[in-house]
Every structure is written in structure tokens, then in C-alpha cells.
Amino acid sequence: MLELRKDIFADERDDNLKEIGKGTQRQDMLGHVTGTSTYFDDHKLQGMLHLKVLRSPHAHARLRRIDTTEAERAPGVRRVIRGADVPVNLNTLLSLINFGKDDEPSLAVDKVRYKGEPIVAVVADSPREAYEAIAKVRVDYEPLPAVFDVEEALKSGAPVVNETYPKNTFVYHDVYDHQKLRFGDVERGFAEADHVLEQRYQMSPIEHAPTETNGSIAAPDTNGRYVVYTSTQALFFSLDTCAKILDVPSNTFHFVGGTVGGGFGGKVDTLTEPLAILGAMLTGRPVRYQLGREEEMQFGSPRGAERIFVKDGVMRDGRIVARKICAYFDSGAYTRLSSYAVVKCAAHLPGPYTIPNVHGDIYCVFTNRTPATAMRGFGVTAMDFALECQMDKLAHLVGIDPMEFRILNAYRDGDMKAHRREAKNTALIECVQVAAEKAKWPLREEAKRASSRKDGGGSRAAMSPTPQDPAPQRAAASQQRTSYDRAPPVVTQPPPPTPTPPPPRPQAPSHGAARFSSVFGTRRR
Amino acid sequence: MTKTPLQFRHNGREVAVFVDGGVNLLVALRELIGDMTPKFGCGQGGCGACSVLIDGELHLSCLTLAEAANGRSVETLDGLKDGPNLHPLQRAFMEQFAAQCGYCTPGMLMAAKALLDRNPSPTRAEVVEAISGNICRCTGYEPIVNAVLAAASGGRARA
Amino acid sequence: MPVTVRTFASTSEAASALSSDRGARYLGGGTLVMRALNEGDISISTVVRATDQALSRIDVSSSRITIGAGVTFAKILAERDLAFLHAPARSIGGPAVRNMGTVGGNLFAPNPYGDFTVALLALDATVSVQGGLGARDLPVEEFLQSRERQSGALVLAVSCQRPASADAFRYRKIARIKPKGGSVITLAAHLPVSGGRITGARIALGSMAPMQIRARAAERVLEGRSFDDASINAAAAAAAEGVSPADSALGSAWYRREIVGVHLRRLLSGLE
Amino acid sequence: MARHRGRGIASINYPIGMNLGGDPSQALVHSNPSGKFTVSLSSIDLGQGMKSVTRQICAETLGVPVEDVYVDTADSDTGPHCMGSFASRGTHRVGNAVMAAAKEARGVMMEAAAEELEVNAADLDTDGRGNIHVKGAPHRSISTKDVAIAAQFKQGKTISGRGIFLVPLSEVNPETGEMSPATCYAHACLVAEVEVDDETGEVAMVRMDSAYELGRALNPRLVEQQLVGGAWMGVSHALFETPEPYYPDPAHGPRDFVEYLMPGPGDICPHDIAVLERPAADGPFGAKGPGEMCANPVLPAVANAIFNAVGVRMDELPITPEKVLRAIKAQGGARPQARR
């Protein structure tokens, strides 16, 4: 059941709108209930061929020899595709926004870096014939030691997963093996704190499990173009990625999609389009490449695992004075989008709270497992789990109600966030208050009167002096630069010195909340 | 490949096609008949997106050998409407906003129809049981259960 | 090479077709064989079917009931005289799978499937098998132990005695997902009581070994004792003896060992 | 044996309008000669309702009924560039692009109407029912259909508009992480109640109460879809899901929907939701994006509820019965905390 609390923040809204705010029926609902919504696989094409891939049974192995001669002679086979047939057989998704190095082949050539990595693709008249041909491909593997734990992967002497990143970590700003967040002096904060609590959190990978698996159909179109029906959740992202991998102008392709059977982040990676199009290019026929369910679950990229260490300093009165985070994102064998999530995660620290001293080190680590990718809440879901479990423990430690503990530490308009931007348009306090009301969770008057729009800024807007880490040595010249901005790397400079602020005071009870009495008083009917 | 003739009743209409050995009914319906309403979700019998009624009983078309449908009556979502008029279940799914991506909807509707055909006024528990073989990743099931219950009570109201 | 489908009127023809072709698999409800074909199992080159009505016959006329191998779980649920088998039948799949899956196929279903067979094991059922050389009956336990070698044979039917009384037979499937989930542990118990003493105790477990197995230690504990809390607790304590569960996606061996006694106790004492 | 109930909470925020990609979205809006509008996008609807929300945004901006607008997506030949549906871009990025395109189209429409009514365009307004009238003089009015016909066949104007929304790329300071990661934040607080079986470690959801602040609920029914379905996914993430049950050991990965665990229709619990609206400065009509963040508070709230119920801290996801049982045994039995 959903209730709209129009009474809250009413003075910030114009509710005098005609279409906005109405529970209008979905434009696509009639199509859904009649089964006429058209997904990529609902396109019927003459003479469709079927593409299946041979996947590595090893998590890490050198490919000594790949023999496809028997497979090429198998009945119904139109074409066997190998890495050498892929025009540009090395890519990284975020190269489209100039972030990261090409590190992943469409079809493995020299070695495989995760169990299930595609090695050879077979295009045949029927799925059965494709499966039979795949069984005839002979691959000579030399198994290599594999690493599956993010902290093991960082140790010297750990197997190198992906030669593009020889230290098994993504490289930030050409210099660091992690993304830093530095705001104030956490060590000073810990020294001041009445209690210090350090904890370890772990999230295992998570599969998107859309009811429609990843897939696409590519077909030769008139005038030398190719039409591609796809389940992608990023049409031009996929189109431009295919243009790069297949080394053709982007207007070679006509991508059609837009109606997708669930994605949740699992259909950004352009897993099937490049090989489906290449199959169509090499056979001159429509080619369908759709993942089976087991392929989707085990070899379609998941939400990557994260290991997170949180160290907090808290005062008896409940104020958190320091928060230090070290997090390891398990990217699997290739970068895909994890490098981006790391920066998003750094920006998210220390959660929706105002803490004067925050320190974050976030790593994107390579291991011999299926590459991870985006998923609903990307870069934040696991961190929120860690931070909110930690908040509960801290509240318990200092003996404060967990709701009131959050209100006490919540960020408010005008506060300075750890990524050095002012907090605006905040509403955490009101959410806690309304949730408490719904759950009949008793709050003291003081907590009920708190507001995101009051008592922020001031000392809470100050940036406490931030000690600098020792200067890093430059990364190996061989490593191409990887940063968001297309300008030269940002020169290292200490942040402008700012006066040390008095430590934040616990929120004084405020009595000017009359305007918002309705928040706590009347319920909307 | 040698093909085998296959004839059955598809949403009330006799159809005849030639199928490859070992091909399932889902492929026959989609690729040979051109009825795209049953969906491929797993090919393992785990998601229910391909659900159809065979002689009035709920079946998974992906686990049904196409030849086994010979001479039988197969109903899909494509036949649920009565001409231009939506089935009460379709109307209820719309009213309850019981679909997001819509991919599980055809199977859900057939599973719900199989229930209501036998049990026009089911309990909530019976509805939950009836759709338990169908995976929905979007809705959290609540609106779907509510829609089936609404369609059932609507049916009673009309009766 | 395409798949050949061979349909026979008689079970004996089907059986000889099966035994004469290593690439042949018998198609029951399709939940095992069709899935294998869909997923690209090219070891299956021939699909054998039989239309013999005997395969879908249920005989409840005597105290010993017989169920054709082709009988679906939906059909069992529709048979009032098989009420004692309704719980195991209902625990399998969703409605569609119950309309398709058969008693015979369930005998071949690997973990985490094969729940109905756990019930059959607790009921000391007999399996009638048609081999290339003729038909024979064997206890379900013996059938399971030799299951790999049975794949060339055709199961005709299963039969068992009705439980002594309604509450003498109990069944429960422990699953993570409700109402349809794979088995973490499946338990079935047949505990006939005569003269206040349990005689012929049978307890069967699914997902506690590579095959469905009997919990012999728990059976021994109960044999000859009165059906009370003391004996129930003793049986629960012995439940994990002799089991060899595996780690799986649904639960670890450790977890299964830890909770099998808890669930056996709850099953026998009628607790939810 | 005993089953223990407990409640736990979590409060979170979530970045909307990410600046870390520098990835814009575009939209085209045009009218046919009978005054019906088409929005051309290359953006994707994954089920979240992007087509429906942008349709309402377009209708509101044009001042026409929603029935007069149809959103066409996604076609790379007809739809202008959009990076894709991820990072909560749908409502915020695409919505803003559609709004900009609709504003431009509205401008032409009003000019064309002004020419027909022989007044100044600034003196005109739309009634949202398909008519344009002189402010304060409703009788001096013309239908959008007649305006479209006039524009097409008489005035030679195209009632159309182009829109793009770009949040400029933010630099990231390598030393301090100083950056402008997002333009606004959605907020939530959720209370979860669970029941824990101290002999098996099984956790059952009892109920959830929540408050979500989303800037503006452009369509409350679609918001409800996201929050109800998202909370279900949160429960699923908290208690059930992973393709690697023994992570970091990759063994025993699930292969089908029986082995990959997600709550069934029999595992769901009541969820009472409140939606707050504090408009974002740069959101379309103040809207933020509900789709991504809605699952996040559930995971920690469930873990905290388990602690309240039996006194064990579950710091590893998913929180399986095995992990709960091991923790209870290590603690020497359940230790229910103060009931709340």
C-alpha cells in the first residue's frame, strides 16, 4: 500500500499540474497483457541461423591449440568463428567515455581468464547442429593457477589475471591502484572518539536473473547495412561498442530494441551483439545468439562481490567523529563497469551522514571469475548494507535508539559532504520520522522536531584540514592513462587550508517546527 | 534433417506444420506457427514463461515434445481475448498494474486461467500455489496475486 | 545428427528399443529429457515413447496399490484413494510440472529433485522394470542403488502397501522457497504401530546422499518402541547417522546434517 | 524450539543524475497534422515504465492530454542518441531531454495558434484538454488539431522540438576524491520485521514499513510498482540470492531457477509505504529516480532485525539459514534483544 505524504515539503512544490502526479495507465500495459509487446526474439526472419559458443571449462588456462577443422565439417555448420575473425578483438565498455584500457576479447585467443569465457562460436542451421559442432572443437588447455579472493589477488606473487592490469587492480588517474576519498583527519578523529568500532562486511555476487535472457538477432539489411534486434538496455552504448569491435562506421547498424524482458543492469554489457552481427556478416544470413538460462546465471555478468572494512569513531553522545572505509570490488576477470562503480562508491561515503573526518580507499580487483557489471543500486547497495549494519551497531554501543541515532547524525541542508560539495535538498530526517510513524516506532519529541532544513551548515559546512598521503610513484609508462576527463591528469595539490572547526555539537532541541507540525500530527487521508 | 508432420488445434484453429526431431512445442509455436506469446525464459521448466494449456491443462511448452501435441488442443495467450474483448484476467492485470517488463505476463495469465477455469473463486493461498511455477523478477508478485483475485471476484460478480 | 523420435504401442517394443541403443532415452513427462535436449545434451540421439495405456493406469482396488510409471502427479492428486500420497505429489514443481512430471521419471530425477521417490522408499515400494530380456520387480531401494544401470530399462509401474493408518505415514519437504522450492531435505516416515509398539519403521531421506536413502539408525531406534516424545527425540538424535549429504546451491552438507534431526523431530511430533 | 521476532531499520540516500560519465540523452518531439504528438527516443524501457513517464512529462509540458502523446523507442535510425537505461538515468536524464524537446515544440505550437487567433503568443495558454485559448478569455480558443493543420498546410511550420540533457562530466581529484558525482539524491528509511527460527536459522519476513523521498512521484502507480518490486528484490538480496553460494570458492553455482534462490509468492509480506516529495532543482518537475535505490535499505534493515530477534550480527550477504544457525550456535543460543 502506498501513501503520498503531500503535507511534507508542500511549500517547495507546485502541485497544480494536469498529467504529472496522476496514476495514468502504462503506455505498454495493453501490449503486455495481450502478449503483443515485441521483444528482440519476437522477430521472425527467413533462414535464421543459430549461434552457440564454446566456453572454457577452466577458470584460468593458457590456450595451447584450438582445432576447429572437424567442427567446420559438421553437418549444418555455416561458419565457425575464432578470435582471429573478430576485427578488433579487444575492448572495454567504458572506452566509449574514454575510461579504462581495452582488456577483454570477444573470443579468447591466448588464454582464458574465467570459467565460461567464450573461445569459439559456431553458426549453424539449428541449435542442435551448433551444439554438435561445438562438441567437435578440440582445445588444448594448459591450466594455470587461479585466484578467487580479492585480498589474495592483491598479494605479491598472486597469479596475474589480466595482463592489461598486471597488479590485478584497475589503475586510477595513472597513479593509484584505488580511488581515494580524503576529508579531514580520521586518525585525529579516532583519537578523540569515546569508542572505535572496526568491522568487516561481505556481499557475494548477485545475478540479475531477468526472465528474458540476454540475446540478439542480427540480419543483413538493404544497402549493406545490418539490422540488429537486441535485448540491450543501452542502445547506442551497444551500437557504438559493436562498431568499434567490428571496425565499421556506426551507421552500418540499425539497432532496434526498447522493449526488454527485465535488465536490472545485466543487459548493458553487449554480450551477444558483436558475435551475432559478425555471424551475419560472415554468412550473409540472419543470426540469433541468445544465452541459455545456465549461461545467463553462471557466465552472464553478475553484480560483483564486495568486501568492505568499516572503522568508526563515535562519541558517548552518539556523534560519529570519524569513519574510515576500505572496500574491494571483485571485478572478475575483466573491467566491464566495476571501475566506474568504485568512483561512485567513493562519492557515496560516508553515507547520508555528516561526519567531520572521512577516509576511503576503494579498489577494483581482478579475479578469475565471471566479469562483474552494473546492477540496480550499482556501487552503493553493498556499501549501504555495511554502513547501515554499522550504524545499528554504533547505536547499540552508545545505547541510543537506532532511529534517533540516525536523525542525530543525518546530513542536513548546508552541511559539507566528504566529496567536498554542499548538501542540498536533503530529506533523510523526514524519511526516518515518517517510517517511524508508519511502524509505530516511538521517537522522542526532540527527534520528531528535527528537520533537514534546520541546524545544518555553520561548523558542519567547514572542511577540516586534510593531511596528505605520501606522494605516489608514477605508474609504469606502458600503462595508458585512464581518467574521466579528457584533459591531462589532474595535478596533485593539497586542498585549500581551512580553519579547524569546533567539533559538531549534538543537535539542540529546536522549537521552530510549527510549520511542519503536520508532518508529525495529522495523517493524510 | 528429416521433418515430422504435426497437426493440432491452436487456439481453436487446426494447424499443421513439419517439425525437426526432438524440437519442443515452444519452438513449434513461435517459429513455425508464428505465435510469439509464449516466451523462452529457461528451457528448463523453471520459469513458466512458456506456459500454455494443452487440452485445458497447464503445461510448459519448452518441456513438451512438439510431436506430443499431435491431435491435441493448445491454448496460448494469443487466444485469451474474445475477439476484441479482453479476458477478465487481462483487464484485472491492467487495473492492478500487475506487469512491468511484461515478459512473464503471458505465462502468468495462462497459469491464472488454468486456475480460474477449475476454481472460479480461489483463496489467496490457492492463487499463490497456482502461479508458483512462474517466475516474476519485477513485481514482487503482490500485484499479480491481487489481479488474479480481482478477476476471480469480478467473475463471481458477473455470474 | 538430428534426434530420432520413436513411438511404440507396446512397452516391450519400447523397452527393446531402449536397451538396444545407447543414445536412446525414454520420454516420460519431459521434465528431464526435454530439458536435456533444450540444453544441448547431444548424447541423446533417440527419444523413445510408448502409448501403452497401462503406463498411465492406477489400481487402488486392493490394499496394495499400483501406479503406472506414466501417471502424473496431478493425476495422483485427483485420486481420492491415494490421499496418503497427496503431500509428496503436491510438493513437486508447480502446477504445470505436476501436470507433466511422472512417477516413473521421478525415480531417475537427481538431487535436488526426486522427492516423490523419497515417499516410495519409506513405503517399501516395488518397481516393475521392463528390460530387453523381460519384466521384473525389484525393491525401490535396490532400484536406486543400481539406477545408473537401469537407464536402459523401462519402468512400467510402482506398487506399495497402503500405510497402516492415515497418520502412520508422514512426509515433509524442506525448501527455501515457498510454495515451490527445491529440496534442502525431504523426509518421509512410515511408522506402523501395533500393540502400542512401532513395527517395521521406515524413514527415508532425500538430498542427504547422492541417492534417496533410508535413515536406518533412526529406524532402529524407533523399532519396537512406543511412539512417544522420548523415542521421537532418540530418532531425531540418530537421524544424521549414515548420511552423506553434499554441498549444493541449496545448502551445505554441514547444514543438512545439523537440521535433519530437527526436521525429523518436527515431522514425527506433528509440529510445523 | 523457538521462533523469535525482531525489528530493524536502515536509512539511505542514493545519487540521481550521475555526473561521472558525461553521458547525455536526447529526445525529439513532433506533431502530426491532427495534433497528435510522437516522442522519438533511443532509450530503453526495461519494465521500469520509462515510456509511460516520459509520455506524461511530454503531455504536461506541451499542455495536451496524455492520450495525444505516444512514445516511440528504441530505434537507432529514428531515435536520437541516448547512452542507455542505467545509473537512474531514465526519469532524470531522458525525462529532462523530453521536457526540453516538448518546450520547444510547445513554443512553435503557441506561435502557430497565435497566428490563427491573431493574438500575441504570450497571451495564450493550454487547457490540457487539447485546446489553446486566450488567457482570461476561454471562448477565444482553438484546438491543437486545428493549430497543427494550420501549421502544416497554411503556415508551413513544423510543430516539433529537440531536447538534450547533459550533466557535464565531473573531474575526480585523485588525492581527495573531490568531485560532483550527482546532481540530486533520493532518500529512504525502512523498518523490517522478521521471524527467526533458532533451530534451523530460517528467517521469515513478517512486514515492512517504509518512507521514500523521490522528489516527485510523476506517476504514483509506477512508483508503487518500483518500490514494491524493489523491496521484494531487497529481501531476495538479503536472504537468498547469489550465483556463488560458497564465495569466494566458485563451486556449486546454481544452474536454474530451482537452485538460484528468490522469494516465491508464498514468501512475501505486507509492505506499507509512504512517499515524500522534495523536488530536485534539476529533476523533471522535481523528480528523482525511484528505480535503483528502492532495494538498498531492505538488506541492512533485515540484518538489523535479525540481531534484534536473536542477538547475532549477520555481516555477510546473503544471510542464509546456515549462516544464522552457525552464528546462533557460536553464541550459545538465541539472545533476543529489547523488543521494539
Asked if B68 and B45 sit in the same domain, the reply is: yes
Distance CA C47, CA C14 (A): 10
Distance CA D36, CA D143 (A): 11
CATH architecture label of C53-161: 2-Layer Sandwich (3.30)
Task: Provide Rg for chain B, Cα atoms.
Answer: 16
Contacts (Cβ under 8 Å, ≥6 apart) of A258: A235, D41, D42, D43, D44, D45, D51, D73, D74, D75
- Per residue of chain C (272 residues), what is the pLDDT tens digit? 789 999 999 999 999 999 999 999 999 999 999 999 999 999 999 999 999 999 999 999 999 999 999 999 999 999 999 999 999 999 999 999 999 999 999 999 999 999 999 999 999 999 999 987 788 999 999 999 998 887 778 999 999 999 989 899 999 999 999 999 999 999 999 999 999 999 999 999 999 999 999 999 999 999 999 999 999 999 999 999 999 999 999 999 999 999 999 999 999 998 87
CA angle centred on A409, ends A404 and A415, rounded to 5°: 140
Distance CA A497, CA C73 (A): 76
Q: What is the pLDDT of residue A249?
A: 97
Question: H/E element holding D211?
Answer: strand D203-213
- The label of the residue with cell 505415514 reads C169
Asked if B101 and B146 sit in the same domain, the reply is: yes
Question: H/E element holding C188?
Answer: strand C183-190
Write phi, then psi, for B34 (nearest 5 degrees).
90, 15
Indicate whether B34 belongs to any domain: yes
Indicate whether B83 belongs to any domain: no
Indicate whether B154 belongs to any domain: yes
Q: What is the pLDDT of residue D74?
A: 84
Q: In what side-by-side order are the strands of the sheet with D37-40? A: D69-72, D37-40, D25-31, D160-165
C4-50 sits in which CATH class? alpha beta
D3-15+182-330 is a CATH 3.90.870.40 domain: no
CA angle centred on C117, ends C116 and C121, rounded to 5°: 125
CA distances (Å), origin D186, targets C254, C262, D54, D233 = 42, 45, 19, 18
Indicate whether B98 belongs to any domain: yes
Indicate whether B47 belongs to any domain: yes
The candidate with the shortest Cα–Cα distance to D114, out of D99, D135, D129, D130, is D135
Q: What is the mean pLDDT of residues D7-33?
A: 93
Q: What is the pLDDT of residue D85?
A: 86
Predicted confidence (pLDDT) at residue A517 exceeds the cutoff of 50: no
Q: Which residues on chain D are in Cβ contact (under 8 Å) with C177?
A: 240, 261-264, 266-267
Residue that wins the pLDDT comparison between C27 and D169: C27
With 0.90 as the threshold, say if the pTM is over it.
yes
Contacts (Cβ under 8 Å, ≥6 apart) of A236: A255, D42, D76, D81, D82, D83, D84
Q: Buried b / exposed e across C191-212, counting CB within 10 Å, b at 16+? A: bbbeeeebebbbbbbbbbbebb
Which residues is A352 bridged to in the sheet?
none
Listed residues B55, B78, B101: the one ending a domain? B78
Q: What is the pLDDT of residue A514?
A: 26
Asked if B61 and B107 sit in the same domain, the reply is: no
Tell whether B79 is within 8 A of chain D (Cβ): no
Asked if B124 and B68 sit in the same domain, the reply is: no
Q: What is the pLDDT of residue C271?
A: 80
User: What percent of chain D lies above the pLDDT cut of 90?
Assistant: 93
Are domains C4-50 and C53-161 of this chain identical in fold? no
Listed residues B78, B113, B135: the one ending a domain? B78
- Cβ C211 vs Cβ C112: under 8 Å: no
Q: Which residues on chain C are in Cβ contact (under 8 Å) with B44?
A: 35, 38-39
Indicate whether B107 belongs to any domain: yes
Domains: count for chain B: 2
Task: Identify each DSSP E strand in A1-95 by its residue range.
Answer: 2-4, 49-55, 61-67, 77-81
Q: What is the pLDDT of residue A491?
A: 39
Q: How many CB atoms lie within 10 A of CB A513?
A: 17
Q: Would you kindly state where each structural domain of chain D is located, as residue ranges?
A: 3-15+182-330, 19-165
pLDDT digits (tens, 9 = 90+) for A382-423: 999 999 999 999 999 999 999 999 999 999 999 999 999 999
Predicted confidence (pLDDT) at residue A471 exceeds the cutoff of 80: no
Q: What is the pLDDT of residue D168?
A: 86
Q: Would you kindly state where each structural domain of chain C is located, as residue ranges?
A: 4-50, 53-161, 166-268
Q: What is the pLDDT of residue B1?
A: 55
DSSP designation for A100: S
Asked if B21 and B53 sit in the same domain, the reply is: yes
Predicted confidence (pLDDT) at residue D17 exceeds the cutoff of 60: yes
Cross-chain residue pair C40–A128, CB shorter than 8 Å:
yes
pLDDT band at A473 (very low <50, low <70, confident <90, very high): low
Structural domain of B101 = 88-158
Q: What is the pLDDT of residue A486?
A: 35
String of DSSP letters for A332-388: ETS-TTHHHHHHHHHHHTT-SB--S-EEEEEEEEE-SSPPPB--TTTTTHHHHHHHH
For an interface test with C, which of B6, B109, B132 has the most C Cβ atoms less than 10 Å from its Cβ? B132
- Cβ A231 vs Cβ A204: under 8 Å: no
The candidate with the shortest Cα–Cα distance to D244, out of A206, B25, A17, is A206
Write phi, then psi, for A342 (nearest 5 degrees).
-60, -45
Q: Which of D178, D243, D272 sits opposite A298 (nearest CB)?
A: D243
Strands C46-50 and D37-40: unpaired
Tell whether A520 is within 8 A of chain D (Cβ): no
* Domains of chain A, earliest start first: 49-144+209-299 (3.90.1170.50), 153-206+302-520 (3.30.365.10)
CA angle centred on D62, ends D59 and D64, rounded to 5°: 55
Q: What is the mean pLDDT of residues A163-176?
A: 96
pLDDT digits (tens, 9 = 90+) for A252-309: 999 999 899 999 999 999 999 999 999 999 999 999 999 999 999 999 999 999 999 9
- Cβ B103 vs Cβ A212: under 8 Å: yes
DSSP designation for D279: -
- Per residue of chain B (159 residues), what is the pLDDT tens digit? 579 999 999 999 999 999 999 999 999 999 999 999 999 999 999 999 999 999 999 999 999 999 999 999 999 999 999 999 999 999 999 999 999 999 999 999 999 999 999 999 999 999 999 999 999 999 999 999 999 999 998 755 443
The candidate with the shortest Cα–Cα distance to C186, out of C116, C270, C93, C247, is C116
Asked if B64 and B125 sit in the same domain, the reply is: no
pLDDT digits (tens, 9 = 90+) for C114-128: 999 999 999 999 999
For an interface test with A, which of C39, C44, C252 has the most A Cβ atoms less than 10 Å from its Cβ? C39
Asked if B94 and B36 sit in the same domain, the reply is: no
Tell whether A22 is within 8 A of chain B (Cβ): no
Q: What is the mean pLDDT of residues A14-30?
A: 97
pLDDT digits (tens, 9 = 90+) for A323-361: 999 999 999 999 999 999 999 999 999 999 999 999 999
Are domains D3-15+182-330 and D19-165 of this chain identical in fold? yes
Listed residues B16, B49, B78: the one ending a domain? B78
Predicted confidence (pLDDT) at residue A56 exceeds the cutoff of 70: yes
The matching CATH number, chosen from 3.40.50.300, 3.40.50.720, 3.40.50.2000, 3.30.365.10, for D19-165 is: 3.30.365.10
Predicted confidence (pLDDT) at residue D163 exceeds the cutoff of 60: yes
CATH number at residue B25: 3.10.20.30
The candidate with the shortest Cα–Cα distance to C111, out of C249, C236, C261, C240, is C249
- The label of the residue with cell 541515532 reads A405
Predicted confidence (pLDDT) at residue A508 exceeds the cutoff of 70: no
C166-268 sits in which CATH class? alpha beta
Asked if B69 and B102 sit in the same domain, the reply is: no
Tell whether A65 is within 8 A of chain B (Cβ): no
Distance CA C266, CA C260 (A): 10
Asked if B55 and B111 sit in the same domain, the reply is: no
Which chains neighbour B (Cβ–Cβ under 8 Å, 3 or more pairs)? A, C, D
Cross-chain residue pair C263–D200, CB shorter than 8 Å:
yes
Asked if B67 and B7 sit in the same domain, the reply is: yes
Q: What is the mean pLDDT of residues A88-104?
A: 95
Predicted confidence (pLDDT) at residue A494 exceeds the cutoff of 70: no
CA distances (Å), origin A350, targets A285, A462, A503 = 53, 16, 17
Q: What is the pLDDT of residue C149?
A: 81
- Which grid cell is C89? 505429489
Q: What is the pLDDT of residue A507?
A: 43
